[in-house]
Amino acid sequence: MPSNQELFERAARSIPGGVNSPVRAFGSVGGTPRFIARAQGPYIHDAEGTRYIDYIGSWGPAILGHAHPEVIRAVQEAAVNGLSFGAPTEAEIDIAEALIRRIPSIEQVRLVSSGTEATMSAIRLARGFTGRSKIVKFEGCYHGHADSLLVKAGSGLLTFGNPTSAGVPPEFVAHTLVLEYNNLDAVAQAFEQHGNEIACIIVEPFAGNMNLVKAAPGFLEGLRELCTRHGAVLVFDEVMTGLRVGPQGVQGLTGVTPDLTTLAKIIGGGMPVGAFGGRADIMARIAPVGDVYQAGTLSGNPVAVAAGLTTLRLLEAPGFYEQLAIQTRKLTDGLQARAQAAGVPFCADAVGGMFGLYFRDSIPTRYAEVSQCDTQAFNRFFHGMLDHGVHFAPSAFEAGFVSATHDDGVIQHTLDAAEDVFETVRAG
């Protein structure tokens, strides 16, 4: 049996950094990533045969737990009928209708194959619809790796952004205004200066890519009002939060209605599916009916759609989200109590089946506060938990995920491990 270390070294010879997405490489925590051989329910098993309780859940999709038998069966049945046709199928109508029925702001929806594609397409659509070029995003929010979104704030409050990646020409982000999350005054100022040039605001309505940071009361409402007043499109990127924080995403929790919504992760049930949808008059601008081009060879792939549809159906079980939220709170409350007992500065937050762990004294509300978390303490916690068979995300700046299979026994095992590990975190 090859060890994780052997696999990592072998992988690094054929794959840059040994991984196909950077965070998997354990770059910020150090050590060797676990190469996963299989997963079932709340557990992942690595190549060495070690079992871990998994709080990554494939970065969100595994809300039912890994390898749910009904999802696997749906995939198997779909596969037998052919893997891809490049022609429309009835199941695509079913999943479009299922999304429209669940999320009231979505009147029409187009399927893609990833979250990146969904946000990239939504922004092109917003620009086409408004005839404007500039977009607003927020520091710490992640919307996939499209050029115009790989951007950090410029030096002044309302200066346009700088690329965060080599290979992105400054001209490509020159239309992207990066503002502070939860700072409505900054957005109001941006609209004062650039109101008739701004095509859209794109926002994670609750941010999950700078750890978990919830919108402050009034923030999303304010964005809605400014967009309406200035004729800009409000895009909620619910790739992570949609069907994760509740059946209708953050828009269902807050009652704030975006013009466009992007989805992915859970709606594919572990297969590559993304989607963008919203107001029918905006969606009517998409090709072939409209003049905004968007396409995909594998969009609406029948095997992926089968996994997504089955997942959406299983999420409708009565009390599903209530129970998920209860289990997630047991985890975060339990961790908080054990950290406090050990004297470690720590707090935690949760919404639905999503949580944040912060090695600082209070729950952060913006990127600058998230950056103040003690990453050394987090890294000790991460590796300590891993040694106890519990796999959290390998970064202090990622949200965590609980599935329907994280029962009391699984949570208790986690908390018992944390009781030991917080002692070593404090000892330093």
Ligand X SMILES: *Cc1c(COP(=O)(O)O)cnc(C)c1O
Q: How many residues bind ligand X (CB under 6 A)?
A: 15
Closest residue by beta carbon to ligand X? 115
- Is residue 265 annotated as part of the catalytic site, yes or no? yes
Residues numbered 23 to 52 that lie near ligand X (CB under 6 A) are: none
Which of 265, 321, 349, 367 is labelled catalytic? 265
- Tell me whether residue 416 is one of the annotated catalytic residues: no
Asked if 259 is part of the footprint of ligand X (rule: CB under 6 A), the reply reads no
Give min distance, CB of 249 to ligand X, in A: 11
- State yes or no: is 134 an active-site residue: no
Q: Least distance from C-beta 44 to ligand X, angstroms? A: 19
* 276 near ligand X, rule: CB under 6 A: no
Q: Is 208 in the site for ligand X (CB under 6 A)?
A: yes
According to CB under 6 A, which one of 144, 242, 249, 300 is a site residue for ligand X?
Answer: 144
Q: Does 235 bind ligand X (CB under 6 A)?
A: no
Task: Identify the residue among 47, 109, 135, 239 touching ligand X (CB under 6 A).
Answer: 239
Interface with ligand X includes 204 (CB under 6 A)?
A: yes
Q: Contact region for ligand X (CB under 6 A) — 72-80, 123-131, 142-150, 409-417?
A: 142-150
Q: Is 311 in the site for ligand X (CB under 6 A)?
A: no
Q: Which of 176, 209, 248, 332 binds ligand X (CB under 6 A)?
A: 209
Residues composing the chain: 428
Among 41, 57, 115, 334, binds ligand X (CB under 6 A): 115
Q: Which of 54, 237, 259, 349 is catalytic?
A: 237
Q: How far is the CB of 119 from ligand X (least distance, A)?
A: 6
Using CB under 6 A, which of 102, 127, 132, 143 touches ligand X? 143
114 binds ligand X (CB under 6 A): yes
119 counts as binding ligand X under rule CB under 6 A: yes
Q: Is 211 in the site for ligand X (CB under 6 A)?
A: no
Sites of contact with ligand X (CB under 6 A): 114-116, 119, 142-144, 204, 208-209, 237, 239-240, 264, 274
Q: Mind telling me the catalytic residues?
A: 142, 237, 265
